[in-house]
Amino acid sequence: MDLYGRDFIVSQDWSLGELEELLDLAAKMKRDRFSPRWTSILQHRTFFMFFYNPSVRTRQSFECAATELGGHAQFLEPGAMRLRTATTAGETTEDAAKVMARYAAGLGIRILEDKVPFYGAGNDLLREYAHWADIPIINMADDRFHPCQGMADVMGWAEWCGEGPGRPDYEKLRGKRFLLTWASGALARSWCSVQEALLVASRFGMHVTVARPDGYDLDPQVYEWTRQNCADNGNDFRITNDPDTAYDGVHVVYSRNWVTPQAYQDGAFQKKAEQDKATAVPGWITNAERMARTDNAIFTHPMPIDRGMEVTDAIASGPRSAIYDIAENRLHVQKAVMALTMGNL
- State the average pLDDT over residues 11-25: 98
Residue 41: how many CB atoms within 10 A of its CB? 20
115-165 pLDDT, tens per residue? Answer: 999 999 999 999 999 999 999 999 999 999 999 999 999 999 999 999 999
Whether residues 23 and 49 fall in one domain: yes
> Is the predicted pLDDT of residue 345 greater than 80, yes or no?
no
Whether residues 184 and 308 fall in one domain: yes
Q: Is residue 2 assigned to a domain?
A: no
**Per-residue pLDDT at 82:** 72
Whether residues 224 and 292 fall in one domain: yes
CATH number of the domain within which 85 lies: 3.40.50.1370
Chain length of the chain: 345
Count of domains observed in the chain: 2
Q: Is residue 225 assigned to a domain?
A: yes
Whether residues 56 and 72 fall in one domain: yes
Whether residues 318 and 332 fall in one domain: no
> Is the predicted pLDDT of residue 181 greater than 80, yes or no?
yes
Q: Is residue 1 assigned to a domain?
A: no
What percentage of the chain reaches a pLDDT higher than 70? 98
Q: Is residue 4 assigned to a domain?
A: no
Helices assigned H by DSSP within 133-287: 147-161, 192-203, 220-232, 271-279
Whether residues 48 and 169 fall in one domain: no
**Per-residue pLDDT at 332:** 98
Mean pLDDT score across all residues of the chain: 96
Residues forming a β-bridge with 265 = 268
Q: Is residue 5 assigned to a domain?
A: no
Whether residues 105 and 211 fall in one domain: no
Structural domain boundaries, residue 238: 149-322
Q: Is residue 303 assigned to a domain?
A: yes
Cis peptide before 168 (omega within 30 of 0): no
Whether residues 153 and 290 fall in one domain: yes
What percentage of the chain reaches a pLDDT higher than 90? 92
Whether residues 175 and 317 fall in one domain: yes
Whether residues 34 and 121 fall in one domain: yes
The Cα 4–Cα 20 span in angstroms is 16
Q: With bands split at pLDDT 50, 70 and 90, how would you rate the model's confidence at 61?
A: very high
Q: Is residue 87 assigned to a domain?
A: yes
DSSP per residue, 103-150: H-SEEEEE--GGGSSSTTHHHHHHHHHHHH-SS-EEES--SS--HHHH
Find out whether 273 and 280 touch, Cβ atoms under 8 Å.
Answer: no
Global pTM? 0.96
> Is the predicted pLDDT of residue 88 greater than 70, yes or no?
no
Whether residues 15 and 133 fall in one domain: yes
Whether residues 159 and 213 fall in one domain: yes
Cα torsion through 201, 207, 212, 217, rounded to 10: 70
Q: Is residue 97 assigned to a domain?
A: yes
